[in-house]
Amino acid sequence: MSILVTGAAGFIGSNFVLDWIGAGLEDVVSLDKLTYAGNRENLASLDGCAQHRFVLGAIEDEALVSDLLASENVTAVVNFAAESHVDRSIVGPGAFIDTNVVGTFKLLDAVRRYWSGLSADRQDSFRFLHVSTDEVYGSLGPDELPFSENNPYRPNSPYAASKAASDHLVRSYGETYGLPVLITNCSNNYGPYHFPEKLIPLVIHNALRGKPLPLYGDGRQVRDWLYVKDHCGALRAVLKGGRPGQTYNVGGESERANIDVVKSVCDILDRLRPLGHNRTYADQITFVKDRPGHDRRYAIDARKLKSELGWRPLESFESGLEKTIRWNLDNSGWVERVTSGAYRDWVARHYA
């Protein structure tokens, strides 16, 4: 028996697959269409592993998904497949609708048909876990309570709206067809294999190359930061003990303003890879025009996950950030290979 992981070559998906295989759990079938952020190299350490099979393909391909579900005797689906960068969704929202909304629908429908043909016992034990984001809840004021699972959805970007739509589709398949679905909404992840367009990997990448470290607006936007391996532990806990039909919020208990995150990266790099001559990486910080509809603050209340399933984040922001920076320093070849010409052109055009 196997689990099917979609979007498995992306940042969080690949970390989850590596974590799952490392824990000695069920076999994994990894499905990814390898867009710019899906990197086959992320899973290269599993080449030759009998517990793992990689398949190139998209969740929109219902025939392929149906074949994999049946031929691999799948017991659970973990859906990471998504377009996930807010800036890209502002420039080109269509791709986000195609993957996050239409793709999720087609995946759900293929899973529903497969699940309907299982025995009663296997139907009861089957799970569809949809991995989503805290951005569906919109923005918080400085004194508002963190997002709980009961917060209304108020997405403010095309990306967030597409993920909100996918969450609603998943929930509807649980309510209408009885499919045993689970939804998780997580805060900002960081860690190994992070494509250098999001804040932390972009700052590391630019800092080491003497480039500007771009910060939107005044840099005081606040995010709750979650080390990716802690996120993987939460997802394992939800798959094992989560109640079908429920949503679980996953946060790192690490609210930080963007400017403070960037300064923390600079401080660690100053220690690990000093520039010399009394220079500091913080001198490269550059403020750029704020993006449209930029949410001011996200924060996650993960008490439900903690109380029901006993999960806790193992890393502080400081310990997780140092591990992330050390990984980037030790894996400079990976970073160079993923930062292709197309990526550099996009970053130059967007942040110029």
Identity of the residue numbered 68: L
Retrieve residue 286's tokens: 């550059």
* Phi and psi torsions of 55, nearest 5°: -125, 125
Give the C-alpha separation, 108 to 119, whole Å.
19
Q: Kindly name the residue from 27, 32, 87, 134 that is annotated as catalytic.
A: 134
Edge-first strand order for the sheet with 52-56 is: 52-56, 27-32, 2-6, 74-79, 127-133, 181-186, 247-250
The stretches of the chain forming alpha helices (DSSP H) are 11-22, 62-71, 86-91, 94-96, 104-116, 120-125, 158-177, 199-208, 228-241, 258-272, 303-309, 317-330, 332-338, 341-351
Give the C-alpha separation, 200 to 184, whole Å.
22
Count Cβ atoms within 10 A of the Cβ of residue 92 and give its class: 0-12 exposed, 13-18 middle, 19 or more buried. exposed
Q: Kindly name the residue from 32, 83, 87, 159 that is annotated as catalytic.
A: 159
Torsion sign across C-alpha atoms 139, 145, 148, 152: negative
Give the C-alpha separation, 29 to 158, whole Å.
30
Contact 242, 311 (CB under 8 A): no
Active site residue 135: yes
Retrieve residue 110's tokens: 């293929």
Give the C-alpha separation, 254 to 224, whole Å.
5
Contact 77, 130 (CB under 8 A): no
Q: Kindly name the residue from 32, 135, 253, 255 that is annotated as catalytic.
A: 135
The closest alpha carbon to 251, from 328, 344, 187, 158, belongs to: 187
Active site residue 330: no
Active site residue 72: no
As annotated, the active-site residues are 134-135, 159
